[in-house]
Chain A
Amino acid sequence: MSSKVIHAIYTDDDLLMQAVKQTREANYHIEEIYTPFPVHGLDKAMGLEPTRLAITSFLYGLVGLGVAISMMNFIMIQDWPQDIGGKPSFSFLENLPAFVPIMFELTVFFAAHLMVITFYLRSKLWPFKQAENPDLRTTDDHFLMEVSVSNHNVEKMSKFLSDTGALEVNLINK
């Protein structure tokens, strides 16, 4: 029974926002919402947790910084010291200014790429993946709210969703 969901389709983002609030107040569980464009404030209305992607990004940046420091230290100081521009490189600290751009670049590189990869993994996306779109109209001008039925009364629920301004209410067996 728990795999049954109701698809409520709306035609306006303001209407959708209102419906989301009402649905949550009525203690129905919203599984997912499909919209043709990002709706501002929808995540807060749905009660989604704030993203933790920024924290991972910061950590990846630190990793990048660490990689840059150890890499430069190994390449330029330990393994093969050279005399560049009258600055013999026998000390990491004394040659630090020359390494700063690389440290900066690798920090950004690691933070950006690993963050994107994390985002793909977390949202289960990969190249050539088929779109999980329940209704093609959500790529055009319709908004779809997927509400799980679980133990609720289906008819009462459909009535409630129609009252929130839904254009269509469909029961789907997943």
Chain B
Amino acid sequence: MIVGAIGLIYGFLSAPSSIEDVKEIIASQEVHEEGHAAAEETTHHVDGVGVDKSQELAATGAENAHSDEDAHAEHMLHQLQNKPWAATYVAAFFFFMIALGALAFYAVQYASMAGWSPVLYRVMEGITAYLLPGSIIMFVLFVLSGLQFNHLFIWMDPEVVANDEIIQGKEAYLNVPFFLIRAAIYIAGWNIFRFLLRRNSLRHDEVDHNRYYRMNFKLSAGFLVFFMVSESMMSWDWIMSFDPHWFSTLFGWYLFASLFVAAITVIALVTMYLKSRGYLPTVNDSHIHDLAKFMFGMSIFWTYLWFSQFMLIWYSNIPEEVTYYVTRIEDFGLPYFGMVALNFIFPVLMLMNSDYKRINWFVVMTGIIILVGHYLDIYTMVMPATVGKSWFIGVSEISAVLFFGGLFILVVFNALTKAPLLAKRNPFIKESEQFHY
């Protein structure tokens, strides 16, 4: 199909240039001297018992204590060395979470026996096709981190841990082998569920009974249970442990809101793209309207969680918790608050009106803004702990997004070409085709 070909060409066009870019940057930075993590170590020396001080305060403290410029330059260097890794990580995670969120949304549709959405099932399945490559890439990144190729996760560095009592206390959970085992369990679980759901959905087209549909219903319910637990733990492992001293009990939900709204947005965008090419004749305004309602609602849900997390920590003002926001507000003011504006104010004002939710270009525009906003959301989750003050959105960030975006589009549109775009024997397909709000 033409769409697949376009995706393919785009993927190939964006892929080589960006890989070279990333390598170039890494190469140019490796010219600098070695001496990893020394700065971060000193950070934790000063932390000592480490109960009260923020990393950022401690880092400046360390710099002041040493009071020589070398230490600062070294600190900068490590942050910059982390930067392409972190950029890759953010982009890889961003597209991975879209695939995961799409799978969750798909499972919700099945488990709730939704009548409006079956015409979109194949689109959702197509998006979840990126789950396997995306999760493998994530796992490779974890293994590389675990083998000390980079210093994204400072708790993986034995020298850091040796000087940090708090991380030592968490070692039973935060250690490399267990971390990798957990990641393998989540990834295997999600992919098995995804594989079975997709297989049953395709088989269902060919038979004359509804057994596969019922099987998918049960699988979806099972997946949602597994997903909610594994997603929270994934958010602690993969994102929250960047700041190993900090914790938030809301973090799993917060990340969930982010990945869910990003996934729904991508579903809406892909649907509208395919429809504009004439591949989805059964999708009407009302389906777009419903997806836009989800985008609107989930954006508000995300803001609610963002604010809940922020306000409780801001109000209680406990040093070990509040550091998270100190770094983000002081060093990441623009992206941090800019992203709240993009993720909340923009969707609210744009999608509030019922009629606007049916106007395609309105939804597309808002969708793009939401995606940018949630990229920045992940960015501000990862960057402060890995890159610190030396952040900027440069070649590595943009090319990483292009690379993974290209790969994502390639995989997704390839998967879309492999099956008919209408799940024609779904028991609710007639209701869905006639869906009218």
Which residues of A does B touch, CB under 8 Å? 54, 58, 85-87, 97-98, 100-101
Contact = CB atoms under 8 A, between A and B. Distances in A.
Nearest to B304: A104
Contacts of B311: 97-98, 100-101
The 4 closest A-B pairs by CB, nearest first: A97-B311, A97-B314, A85-B315, A86-B317
B352 interface: yes
8 contacts: A54-B353, A85-B315, A87-B315, A87-B317, A97-B311, A98-B315, A100-B307, A100-B311
A144 B316 CA distance: 62
Interface string B334-360: 000000000000000000111000000
Contacts of A100: 307, 311
A87 B317 CA distance: 10
B339 to A, nearest CB: 17
A165 to B, nearest CB: 24
B12 interface: no
B178 interface: no
Interface residues of B, number: 10
B361 interface: no
B247 interface: no
Contact of B315 (A54, A58, A97): A97
B310 interface: yes
A100 B311 CA distance: 9
Contacts of B317: 85-87
A86 B353 CA distance: 42
Nearest to A54: B354
Nearest to B312: A97
A58 B310 contact: no
B304 to A, nearest CB: 9
A152 B370 CA distance: 57
Given A85-B315, A85-B317, A97 B354 contact: no
Nearest to B308: A101
Interface string B353-390: 11000000000000000000000000000000000000
A101 B354 CA distance: 26
A48 to B, nearest CB: 16
Given A85-B315, A85-B317, A86-B317, A97 B352 contact: no
A97 B322 CA distance: 14
A61 B105 CA distance: 31
Nearest to B352: A58
A97 B315 CA distance: 8
Contacts of A85: 315-317
